[in-house]
Structure 1
Amino acid sequence: MTGQIMSRPSVRRPGVRRRVAGLCTGLTAAVVLLSGCQVGEGSSSGLASQPTQSASGSGAAGSGSGSGSAGTEDSLPKLSWKRATASAVADPPVASFNPAAHDVFTGYTSPDRQSGSGSATPKGFSSAPAGAGMSRYLDQQISWTACGSFQCGTVLVPLDWDSPDGQAITLTMKRKQATERSGNRPAKGTMFINPGGPGVSGQDMLTSFETGSFPGYDVIAWDPRGSGQSTPVACGTAAQTDAFFDLDSSPDSSAQWSAVIAGNKAFAQQCRRASGALLDHISTIDTARDLDYLRTRVGDPKLNYLGISYGTFIGATYAEMYPRRVGRMVLDSAVNITSNDSVSQVMGFDKAFHAFAGWCARNDKECGLGGSADEVVRRTQNFLAGLDSRPLTVGSRSLTQNQAATGIAFYLYSGADSYKYLAGALGWAMERGQGKYLLAAADSLNGRDVETGKWDNSAYAFPAILCKDSADPGLAGARAQWEIDQKRAPLLGRPFGVGLVCTYWTAKPATQLRISARGAAPIVVLGVTGDPATPYQQAQWMAQQMSSAVLVSWRGAGHSAWSLGNSCLRNSVTGYLNGGVVPRNGLTC
Structure 2
Amino acid sequence: MDTRRLFRISATALAAAGLLVSGCSAGGSPSEASASDSSSSSSGSGSAGPAALKRYYEQKLTWRGCGVPDFQCATMKAPLDYTKPGGTEIDLAVARKKATGPGKRLGSLMVNPGGPGGSAVGYLQAYAGIGYPAPVRAQYDMVAIDPRGVARSEPVECLSGKEMDAYTQVDQTPDDQAEVTKLTESFKKFAQGCERRSGTVLPHVSTVEAARDMDVFRAVLGDRKLSYVGASYGTFLGATYAELFPKRTGRLVLDGAMDPSLPARELNRDQTAGFETAFRSFAEDCVKQADCPLGRKSPADVSNRMKAFFAKLDARPVPAGGDRELTESLATTGVIAAMYDESAWPQLREALAGAMDGDGAALLALADSYYERESDGTYANLMFANSAVNCLDLPPSFTGPDEVTKALPSFEQASPVFGRGLAWAALNCTYWPTEATGAPHRIEAKGAAPIVVVGTTRDPATPYKWARSLADQLSSGTLLTYNGDGHTAYGRGSDCIDTAINAYLLEGTPPARGKTCS
TM beyond 0.5 = yes
The corresponding residue for 1:58 is: none
Q: Report the Cα distance in structure 2 between the residues aligned to 1:45 and 1:577, rounded to whole angstroms.
A: 23
CA gap 1:84/1:333 in 2 versus in 1, 3 angstroms? closer
Higher share in helix: 2
Shift of 1:279: 0.4
1:164-186 CA-partner distances (Å, limit 9, x unpaired): 1111111111101012379xxx7
Q: Report the Cα distance in structure 2 between the residues aligned to 1:534 and 1:237, rounded to whole angstroms.
A: 30
The corresponding residue for 2:169 is: 246
Q: 1:566 aligns with which of 494, 499, 507?
A: 494
Matched, 1:586 2:514: yes
Q: Report the Cα distance in structure 2 between the residues aligned to 1:51 and 1:385, rounded to whole angstroms.
A: 32
- Secondary structure at 1:316 match in 2: helix
Structure possessing the higher relative contact order (Cα contacts under 8 Å, 6 or more residues apart):
1
- Which region of structure 1 is more displaced relative to structure 2, 475-484 or 395-404? 475-484
- Secondary structure at 1:563 match in 2: coil
CA gap 1:482/1:555 in 2 versus in 1, 3 angstroms? same
Q: 1:165 aligns with which of 86, 101, 109?
A: 86
The corresponding residue for 1:47 is: 18
1:552-589 CA-partner distances (Å, limit 9, x unpaired): 01111101201324111101110001111111121001
Matched, 1:514 2:433: no
The corresponding residue for 1:190 is: 108
Shift of 1:241: 1.7
Shift of 1:86: 8.1
Shift of 1:273: 0.7
The corresponding residue for 1:236 is: 159
Shift of 1:338: 2.3
The corresponding residue for 1:329 is: 252
Q: 1:461 aligns with which of 367, 381, 385?
A: 385
Cα root mean square deviation, aligned:
2.5
Asked whether the 8 Å contact 2:458–2:485 carries over to 1, the reply is yes
CA gap 1:168/1:545 in 2 versus in 1, 3 angstroms? same
Matches within 5 A, 1:479-490: 479-490=405-416
Q: Report the Cα distance in structure 2 between the residues aligned to 1:412 and 1:187, rounded to whole angstroms.
A: 38
Q: 1:178 aligns with which of 86, 91, 99?
A: 99
- Secondary structure at 1:134 match in 2: helix
Matched, 1:373 2:299: yes
CA gap 1:84/1:403 in 2 versus in 1, 3 angstroms? closer
Q: Report the Cα distance in structure 1 between the residues aligned to 2:253 and 2:273, rounded to whole angstroms.
A: 25
Matches within 5 A, 1:111-122: none
- Opposite residue 450 of structure 2, the aligned amino acid is P
CA gap 1:385/1:233 in 2 versus in 1, 3 angstroms? same
CA gap 1:92/1:391 in 2 versus in 1, 3 angstroms? farther
Q: Report the Cα distance in structure 2 between the residues aligned to 1:174 and 1:225, rounded to whole angstroms.
A: 14
TM normalised by structure 2 equals 0.88
- Opposite residue 191 of structure 1, the aligned amino acid is L
The corresponding residue for 1:344 is: 270
Structure 2, unpaired ranges of 5+: 24-28, 42-50
Matched, 1:258 2:213: no
- Secondary structure at 1:586 match in 2: coil
- Secondary structure at 1:514 match in 2: coil
CA gap 1:375/1:142 in 2 versus in 1, 3 angstroms? same
The corresponding residue for 2:26 is: none
Percent identity, please. 38
The corresponding residue for 1:143 is: 62
Q: Report the Cα distance in structure 2 between the residues aligned to 1:485 and 1:464, rounded to whole angstroms.
A: 24
- Opposite residue 18 of structure 2, the aligned amino acid is L
Matched, 1:281 2:209: no
Asked whether the 8 Å contact 2:195–2:202 carries over to 1, the reply is yes
- Secondary structure at 1:170 match in 2: strand
Matched, 1:552 2:480: yes
CA gap 1:133/1:218 in 2 versus in 1, 3 angstroms? same
- Secondary structure at 2:431 match in 1: coil
Q: Report the Cα distance in structure 1 between the residues aligned to 2:148 and 2:31, rounded to whole angstroms.
A: 30
CA gap 1:580/1:258 in 2 versus in 1, 3 angstroms? same
CA gap 1:543/1:288 in 2 versus in 1, 3 angstroms? same
Q: Report the Cα distance in structure 2 between the residues aligned to 1:94 and 1:48, rounded to whole angstroms.
A: 31
Shift of 1:84: 9.7
Q: 1:318 aligns with which of 238, 241, 262?
A: 241
- Secondary structure at 1:485 match in 2: helix
1:196-251 CA-partner distances (Å, limit 9, x unpaired): 01011111111221342412111101111111111111112212222222211211
The corresponding residue for 1:386 is: 312
Q: 1:529 aligns with which of 457, 478, 489?
A: 457
Asked whether the 8 Å contact 1:323–1:520 carries over to 2, the reply is yes
The corresponding residue for 2:327 is: 400
- Opposite residue 427 of structure 2, the aligned amino acid is L
Matches within 5 A, 1:487-498: 487-496=413-422, 498=424
Q: Report the Cα distance in structure 2 between the residues aligned to 1:567 and 1:427, rounded to whole angstroms.
A: 34
1:248-274 CA-partner distances (Å, limit 9, x unpaired): 121111111111111111111111110
- Opposite residue 334 of structure 2, the aligned amino acid is G
Asked whether the 8 Å contact 2:9–2:231 carries over to 1, the reply is no
Q: How many residues are paired up?
A: 487
Q: Report the Cα distance in structure 2 between the residues aligned to 1:299 and 1:195, rounded to whole angstroms.
A: 23
Asked whether the 8 Å contact 2:287–2:299 carries over to 1, the reply is yes
1:520-559 CA-partner distances (Å, limit 9, x unpaired): 1110000111111111111111111111100001111101
CA gap 1:134/1:464 in 2 versus in 1, 3 angstroms? same
Matches within 5 A, 1:97-136: 133-136=52-55
Structure 1, unpaired ranges of 5+: 8-17, 24-40, 53-82, 96-131
Shift of 1:328: 0.5
Shift of 1:287: 0.2
The corresponding residue for 1:26 is: none
- Opposite residue 226 of structure 2, the aligned amino acid is L
CA gap 1:21/1:391 in 2 versus in 1, 3 angstroms? farther
Shift of 1:495: 3.5
Q: Report the Cα distance in structure 2 between the residues aligned to 1:571 and 1:45, rounded to whole angstroms.
A: 24
Asked whether the 8 Å contact 2:120–2:146 carries over to 1, the reply is yes
Q: Report the Cα distance in structure 1 between the residues aligned to 2:222 and 2:169, rounded to whole angstroms.
A: 47
Shift of 1:497: 5.1
Q: 1:91 aligns with which of 14, 26, 37?
A: 37
Q: Report the Cα distance in structure 1 between the residues aligned to 2:35 and 2:63, rounded to whole angstroms.
A: 36
Matched, 1:296 2:215: no
Shift of 1:396: 1.4
Asked whether the 8 Å contact 2:7–2:461 carries over to 1, the reply is no
Asked whether the 8 Å contact 2:58–2:219 carries over to 1, the reply is no
The corresponding residue for 1:427 is: 353
- Secondary structure at 2:482 match in 1: strand
